[in-house]
A = this chain, B = another copy of it.
């Protein structure tokens, strides 16, 4: 079985000429890329000893060190083992205007796990779905994704391994896996082909590279890469089709339909608080032991009482097992990446709890209303967020989303109180008043958000918070219930 029909390698003179031309082209393109803020992700996959590292080494000689990173992804760190599958790739995404070269990546990881029997057919199919979504989200969000597979024949691989094995300084380069791969060349070839077939998207196709000679490998990669950059630069302004929702949804009320008359007296509050915090403390120990990751996401009106609510949760937790992530406007290095990057990189380890005080839903609220992203961007975001939360769900995370609800009058009363109390003044800014002026626009956006992102696996929970005590107890109760469900206790 042949993998594909390679183009013939040109003669020495032509090779030299074309190499020089394309190297100069890439050197010029790097400045354009920087200027136009195009991020380029190059995924270099291929057979063991095919020369992935060598090829990357040659390509980057044409790029200023300020504009690229090389990421070696062969081995997972302990931390990465305790994160979702896509985490380590998301974490290493290039900034706008820069290159990232991945020395093997999600293909290698997936095919390896499939061959070693760690993935069932079902989990393999899920994985393929994750990869397709990941790549589509990248290209939809303006990334150029170039995927190369360096191919060598079984015979050539054998020859190379023999050369490496001879010297102490190079023999470590042959891993046990390379040996295994070579022994099962045919089987591996099938797995590679099937993966490539399943993940060949028109926005991020696979390029097969004949890797029998080094210069010829470099030439093919450089020519495809520079072509890809040309095309991506000319397509930058294009909008992206909106996808239909494919996830099962939960019915949710509109904000205006939510009664806000719920209250709790002081005694009941104290009793319930003690009881639920004690229970949560136990559950925290248990989820640590069972290595369940938990994500609690808070959104809500300014002055709705998010901070105090979060404090009643964390008051029951061991500080070694949770983190609160207050989300402000993104820093420059965050803005330069996929908008979900700063949330992917803040995900908890298994067994830990991450609490987000404001979240990725900023995309469809403040970013939408303040014009920080295009209409196409935020309209696409509902689906992108549902996909993100699906990844978390597939990973085994407990995801709890709270909308903390108050009415406009309550907000005014609390703003005024903050303004008039010296110790609370830092909590109120001009921006809060400006946001208040846009209450109605926000209400429209929030309603749309809740309708479109209350999937069955990650529905919104409304916390009626005109009485903060009521909202705190409700939040604690929901957290306790959700944890009990997953930890299998009543």
Contacts and interface: CB of A to CB of B under 8 A. Distances in A.
A307 B60 contact: no
Given A169-B282, A331-B332, A65 B310 contact: yes
Interface string A445-466: 0000000000000000000000
A388 to B, nearest CB: 23
A57 B319 contact: yes
> Interface majority SS on A: helix, strand, loop or mixed?
helix
B53 A318 contact: yes
Contact of A172 (B103, B282, B289): B289
Given A78-B78, A333-B331, A423-B28, A323 B70 contact: yes
A172 B326 CA distance: 30
Interface in A305-328: 307, 310-311, 314-315, 317-320, 323-326, 328
Nearest to A332: B331
Nearest to A326: B66
B285 A170 contact: yes
Nearest to A72: B320
Contacts of A325: 65
B31 A324 contact: no
A423 B318 CA distance: 57
A168 interface: yes
Chain A interface category by residue count: 35 or more
A112 to B, nearest CB: 18
Interface string A283-302: 00110110000000000000
Contacts of A286: 169
Nearest to A316: B57
A29 B282 CA distance: 33
Nearest to A55: B319
Contacts of A64: 307, 326
Nearest to A289: B172
Contact of A169 (B72, B78, B289, B332): B289
A53 B101 contact: no
Nearest 10 pairs between A and B by C-beta?
Answer: A65-B324, A169-B285, A66-B326, A57-B319, A72-B320, A70-B319, A56-B319, A169-B286, A53-B320, A53-B318
